[in-house]
Amino acid sequence: MTECFDCMDPANYAAVALKLQQTALAAEACLFPVERSLRSAANLPTLIRTLAAPVACTANVMKVLDTFATLTFTNFTPSPTFGSTFSQLPAGVWQVGAFVNATATGTVDDNTYRQLSIVTRTLFSPTSVANTYTMLETQFEANVGIGVDLTLCTTVALNGNESIQFQFLHGNTSSTLNAATGSFFWAHRLSDEIALKVV
Amino acid sequence: MPANTPIYGFTYPCESDAINASAFSTLANQIDAKLLDIAADRDFAIGRYNVQQDMSPNQGGIASGVATPLTNAGSTYVAPVSGIYVVDGYTSVTATTVTYARIQIRVAATAKFARSVNNETGSPLSGTWSFPGGAVIVTAGQTIDTVITFTGTGTGTATLHLNVRLIVRLA
């Protein structure tokens, strides 16, 4: 039997079958790495975590909301230590965002503040150590019965040894606030921290 | 009985199969289809789906306290492919008085995120206000749209500028 098409004839079907098998496997071996490279370049690491249940927040006590969230989506293997969380994300430039609906569980103190923050912190640093990055959104309760909707989006540069925290603070002293089910936190890697070449 | 490659399932005949022209055309068409698929990946990597659109005309007749979907031209976007989209933009609502307003971003008529503003002390509702980006998971063919709510007096008129950008393709 031969692998050469030129030598095939009606009595040598096995060579045709073998050639087609080799062609199929060779095409697959050629195309798969190209597709993988394109898809990993196009679909950059992304993580979304969502509150599956309300999180009660006491007035003037900072709450790190993302620690209560459950995984909604990820397309990469995050930290081996912390799993699919916002701690120890790979180094690089990340777009980071959050949405929180905060609704009082009892009496509403009209025009008291609601504050959502996206911060980055060095891993395992004590609370006395300042954030490496802070972005805030502050709103004041309008008391219309549906709470306050806070949305934040920013860009941070991570060094691979930091965590992102989504912190919530409020001044509604007459009752606790619930960060609602469906509030979510997300991060999407944009690039390496250093652009090797700008085209 | 034909066999298939392990990753893409390209079909090739085995030794015991009767081999005819269709065996060649089937394999060739499958490889061609995968090449087109990869070309689509390349196009996506270079130029992602990304729209910036204004609602026109402005939408009036919005009653105070009633969550009202914005439906005028330019207010909605139908996802061309399944993926994660970042949605942001800016909006405004004017009426005789406006004390509070909220815009919700929806996917397939389900609210995903929102931003509210409080004008009880006089600002910032005198003009346009933004809603920062939120990441939403969307299936191809689903519609991204918005719902506006305000409290105050008179009938409201809303403006909308909508940005939608695909960041992860899921299919």
Give the tokens for residue B3.
Answer: 């066999």
* Chain A partners within 8 Å of B31 (Cβ): 24, 27, 31
Helix or strand or coil: residue B64?
coil
Residue with token string 């139908």: B78
- Chain A nearest-CA distance from B157, in A, is 20
Q: What is the pLDDT of residue B64?
A: 96
- Chain B nearest-CA distance from A38, in A, is 6
**Tens digits of residue pLDDT in B82-95:** 999 999 999 999 99
Q: What is the pLDDT of residue B123?
A: 58
Q: Is the pTM of this model over 0.90?
A: no
Chain B residue with minimum CA distance to A141: B118
Residue A109 burial (CB count, 10 A): 16
Give the tokens for residue B23.
Answer: 């065996």
- Chain B nearest-CA distance from A180, in A, is 11
- Percent of chain A whose pLDDT exceeds 70: 91
Q: Which residues sit opposite A145 in a β-bridge?
A: none
Strand B156-169 to B83-94 pairing: antiparallel
Closest Cβ opposite residue A24 in set B12, B88, B149: B12
Contact B72, A114 (CB under 8 A): no
**Tens digits of residue pLDDT in A146-183:** 899 999 999 999 999 999 999 999 999 999 999 999 99
Runs of H (alpha helix) within B18-98: 21-46
Q: Is the pLDDT of residue A55 over 60?
A: yes
**Tens digits of residue pLDDT in A91-114:** 999 999 999 999 999 999 999 999
**Residues 28-87 of chain B whose Cβ lies under 8 A from any Cβ of chain A:** 31, 34-35, 37-38, 41-42, 44-45, 48, 84, 86
Q: What is the pLDDT of residue A4?
A: 45
Contact at CB, A16 and B19, closer than 8 angstroms: yes
Q: What is the mean pLDDT of residues A14-31?
A: 90
- Chain B nearest-CA distance from A105, in A, is 19
Least Cα distance to B13 among B23, B21, B28 occurs for B23
Distance, in Å, from the CA atom of A85 to the CA atom of A48, rounded to the nearest integer, reads 9
Distance, in Å, from the CA atom of B123 to the CA atom of B101, rounded to the nearest integer, reads 12
Q: Is the pLDDT of residue A9 over 90?
A: no
- Chain A nearest-CA distance from B25, in A, is 11
Closest Cβ opposite residue B118 in set A17, A34, A142: A142
**Tens digits of residue pLDDT in B49-64:** 999 999 999 999 999 9
Q: Which residues sit opposite B145 in a β-bridge?
A: B106
Distance, in Å, from the CA atom of A147 to the CA atom of A144, rounded to the nearest integer, reads 7
Computed over its alpha carbons, how large is the radius of gyration of chain A? 26
Non-local (6+) Cβ contacts of A146 within 8 A are A101, A103, B102, B116, B149
Angle at A132 between CA A127 and CA A134, to 5 degrees: 90
Distance, in Å, from the CA atom of A86 to the CA atom of B138, rounded to the nearest integer, reads 23
Contact at CB, B86 and A14, closer than 8 angstroms: no
Distance, in Å, from the CA atom of A126 to the CA atom of A186, rounded to the nearest integer, reads 24
**Tens digits of residue pLDDT in B94-146:** 999 899 999 999 999 999 999 999 887 665 555 789 999 999 999 999 999 99
* Chain A partners within 8 Å of B120 (Cβ): 110-111, 140, 142
Angle at B121 between CA A106 and CA B132, to 5 degrees: 80
pLDDT-derived band at A193 (thresholds 50, 70, 90) equals: confident
Q: What is the pLDDT of residue B48?
A: 84
Q: Locate the DSSP E strands across chain B.
A: 3-4, 11-12, 50-54, 59-62, 68-69, 77-78, 83-94, 97-107, 110-118, 129-138, 143-153, 156-169
Task: Please count the CA atoms within 13 angstroms of the CA of A8 that sit on its side-chain side.
Answer: 13
Q: What is the mean pLDDT of residues B149-170?
A: 95
Q: What is the pLDDT of residue A1?
A: 40
Under DSSP, the state recorded for B63 is P
Closest Cβ opposite residue B27 in set A24, A140, A182: A24
pLDDT-derived band at A78 (thresholds 50, 70, 90) equals: confident
Least confident span in B14-23, B33-42, B147-156: B14-23
Q: What is the pLDDT of residue B126?
A: 58
